[in-house]
């Protein structure tokens, strides 16, 4: 059954602009519709807050925060927000419409994905989250439902409704807001939310894509939360034998229970993902997964929820730190350990790989000779390592550092390796040297003063300074000429990373009070509106009204509205009053006559005089029967 037929919003036009055509999805906070922007003739998605929540200031604030946050990102892998507004009890966001499905739909239909497909989805997701993290925002509710996959193959991240500034606290009232299956341990235990909670959630999503099932399950949310706190995410290869060990390591790194052991944001994780992909063969990337494991999973676990902290029991766990500063279990245990530590578990290695790993840790270069007969080796993985870690790893491989260079980077953390020369994985003679390029972090840019410039001029100046133009809003101004920039957000002089989107506020000029010209002749109405600085257009449709033919029956916008100088007022002319045929009521009783005349659309007036004070029969009517009279006019009946 088509439930959209029962939705009162379907078929309505919100805010005089957005025609609601169909319901797409319903969530706990809002309903999403497919709609048409009748002004721009553009199909879009309309996210409408449930009216019951619109009275709650905190929900409305979160809703508006989503619009402002996403509008500043301007990233190709983030669902764009075009507009935000209200119409009566409805609070809405107008957003980019993506024809396609969600990652959850794909997982329900196909179960586990091939590693290549999983990485093809994960990389744009991390790019989108990386843009948010570098702009100072944390998504906090990453899950397959919020990953949209378009019919054209585009991947976009949606639903920034729980977005918070980096370093903010999710809850201070004993509750955690999020989706149980994807909550990081620190969200459950402390309510803290920095970019690493999104990294954790992406690690869980990666596990789910590779295996078709969530890493932690249970009979209740409390059980799942407990497992997040006290159990590591399993290796994907435990569920899908044959998966490459690099995928196990990548999952363990992203889902490390200790946030310090995870990449510090999505950009850093993306760098690791790209390095891992480069290390995989085509056969490993295209490994065929087993039959889908996701069918029949608990839909309730996928919903964003408020989780009481009483469901969680924090407990300290042991850690171990290895040579590159990451928290991991020992790589060289001969016997299996009873519990994997929080930094993630390395895959088991064969005897040769174990010997090579031990020799490298000990700093003995003969481990490379064991494979390459002592002549050649390959540049080891160094991307995203600190200079000290990279130097140690090179020395362990029997290589030296030739030089250290520096460069700005918007995607690689300050103080870590951007690139090497020769590149990672290239053959190099033993005892040769490698040049390291270290990131100085993103180049900061000063927001220029664009007040008084046209929007095109402001965009050009922002682009020249390494910034981007974001959402444009318009406001009245008595001091700034119409069509030029009043201000920016953030303001001029602020420091921002290169590529940051800057919102523009453009002047609509001084406000003009629209005069009321209904009832005026067309020429008089035109003259009055033009003298007020407004343009006039006349509708091709005329309507019946109380005004004479050719006079203004109505105007849009109405009198007393405020417009900018040069805006247009549309006039609709009158065809005159609607006329109807007068019925014959002579000889009828007074009650019957009045009833018949009123049903025909007339007002009725009684004329009794002295002779009709006690009469009850109509002897005469002011307009003869059969004649036409304006609907709503008054017919006088004489009673005797």
Distance of CA 592 to the CA centre of its chain: 65
Residue of 27, 19, 272, 265 lying closest to 158 (CA atoms): 27
Q: How many helices (H) and strands (E) does the chain have?
A: 17, 33
- What phi, psi does 567 have (nearest 5°)? -70, 165
Q: Are strands 628-630 and 579-581 parallel, antiparallel or unpaired?
A: antiparallel
Which residue numbers are catalytic? 141
Residues 585 and 593 sit within 8 Å (Cβ to Cβ): yes
Residues 609 and 579 sit within 8 Å (Cβ to Cβ): no
Q: What is the rounded CA–CA span in Å between residue 86 and residue 101?
A: 28
Residue written as token pair 């900018």:
564
State whether the Cα torsion 345-349-351-356 is positive or negative.
Answer: negative
Q: What is the rounded CA–CA span in Å between residue 25 and residue 16?
A: 23
First to last CA, the chain: 64
State the number of CA atoms in the 13 A half-sphere of 458 facing the CB.
Answer: 26
Question: What secondary structure does DSSP assign to 570-632, as a single string?
Answer: EEEEB----EEEPPP-TTSBHHHHHHHHHHTT-EEEEE-TTTTTT--BEEEESS-TT-EEETT
Q: Are strands 417-421 and 304-308 parallel, antiparallel or unpaired?
A: unpaired
Residue written as token pair 């990373």:
497
Which residues on adjacent β-strands are paired with residue 472?
504
Residue of 117, 151, 128 lying closest to 267 (CA atoms): 128
Residue of 240, 295, 290, 289 lying closest to 109 (CA atoms): 295
Q: Is 336 left (phi over 0), alpha (psi -120 to 50) or beta?
A: beta
Q: What is the rounded CA–CA span in Å between residue 274 and residue 254?
A: 14
**The pair of three-digit structure tokens given for residue 612, joined into one six-digit string:** 């009709």
Question: What secondary structure does DSSP assign to 321-332, as a single string?
Answer: B-TTS-B---S-
């Amino acid at each position: 059954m088509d439930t959209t037929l029962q939705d009162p919003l379907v078929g309505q036009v919100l805010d005089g602009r957005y025609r609601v055509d169909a319901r797409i999805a319903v969530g706990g906070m809002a309903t999403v519709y497919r709609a048409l922007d009748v002004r721009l003739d553009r199909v879009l998605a309309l996210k409408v807050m449930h009216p019951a929540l619109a009275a709650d200031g905190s929900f409305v604030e979160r809703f508006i925060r989503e619009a402002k946050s996403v509008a500043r990102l301007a990233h190709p892998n983030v669902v764009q927000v075009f507009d935000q507004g209200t119409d009566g009890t409805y609070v809405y966001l107008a957003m980019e419409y993506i024809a396609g499905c969600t990652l959850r739909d794909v997982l329900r239909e196909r179960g586990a994905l091939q590693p290549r497909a999983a990485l093809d989805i994960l990389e744009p997701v991390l790019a989108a989250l990386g843009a948010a993290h570098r702009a100072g925002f944390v998504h906090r509710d990453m899950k397959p439902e919020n990953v949209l996959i378009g019919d054209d193959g585009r991947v976009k991240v949606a639903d920034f409704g729980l977005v918070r500034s980096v370093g903010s606290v999710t809850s201070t009232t004993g509750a955690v807001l999020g989706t149980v299956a994807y909550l990081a341990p620190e969200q459950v235990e402390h309510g803290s939310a920095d970019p690493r909670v999104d990294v954790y959630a992406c690690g869980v999503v990666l596990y789910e894509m590779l295996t078709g099932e969530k890493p932690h399950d249970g009979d209740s949310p409390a059980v799942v939360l407990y497992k997040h706190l006290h159990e590591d995410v399993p290796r994907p290869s435990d569920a899908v034998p044959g998966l490459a060990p690099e995928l196990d390591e990548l999952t363990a790194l992203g889902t490390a229970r200790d946030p310090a052991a995870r990449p510090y944001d999505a950009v850093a994780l993306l760098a690791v993902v790209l390095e891992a992909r480069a290390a995989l063969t085509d056969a490993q990337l295209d490994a065929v997964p087993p039959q889908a494991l996701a069918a029949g999973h608990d839909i309730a676990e996928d919903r964003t929820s408020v989780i009481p902290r009483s469901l969680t029991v924090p407990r300290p766990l042991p850690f171990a730190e290895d040579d590159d500063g990451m928290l991991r279990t020992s790589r060289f245990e001969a016997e299996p350990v009873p519990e994997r530590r929080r930094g993630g578990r390395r895959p088991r290695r064969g005897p040769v790989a174990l010997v090579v790993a031990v020799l490298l840790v000990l700093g003995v270069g003969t481990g490379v000779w064991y494979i390459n007969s002592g002549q050649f080796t390959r540049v080891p993985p160094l991307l995203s390592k600190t200079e000290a870690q990279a130097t140690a790893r090179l020395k362990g491989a029997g290589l030296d550092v030739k030089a250290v260079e520096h460069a700005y980077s918007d995607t690689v953390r300050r103080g870590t390796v951007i690139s090497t020369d020769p590149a990672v994985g290239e053959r190099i003679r033993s005892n040769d040297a490698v040049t390291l390029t270290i990131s100085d972090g993103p180049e900061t840019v000063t927001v220029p003063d664009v007040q008084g410039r046209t929007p095109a001029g402001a965009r050009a100046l922002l682009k020249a300074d390494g910034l981007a133009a974001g959402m444009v809003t318009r406001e009245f101004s008595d001091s700034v000429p119409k069509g030029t920039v009043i201000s920016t957000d953030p303001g001029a002089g602020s420091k921002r990373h290169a590529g940051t989107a800057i919102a523009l506020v453009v002047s609509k000029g001084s406000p003009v009070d629209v005069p009321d010209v209904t009832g005026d002749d067309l020429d008089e109405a035109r003259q009055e509106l033009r003298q007020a600085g407004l343009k006039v257009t006349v509708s091709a449709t005329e309507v019946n009204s109380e005004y004479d033919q050719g006079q203004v029956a109505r105007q849009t916008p109405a009198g007393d509205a405020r417009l900018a100088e040069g805006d247009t007022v549309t006039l609709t002319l009158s065809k005159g009053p609607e006329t109807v045929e007068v019925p014959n009521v002579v000889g009828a009783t007074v009650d019957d006559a009045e009833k018949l005349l009123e049903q025909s659309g007339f007002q009725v007036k009684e004329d009794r005089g002295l002779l009709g004070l006690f009469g009850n029969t109509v002897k005469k009517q002011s307009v003869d029967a059969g004649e036409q009279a304006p609907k709503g006019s008054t017919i006088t009946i004489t009673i005797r």
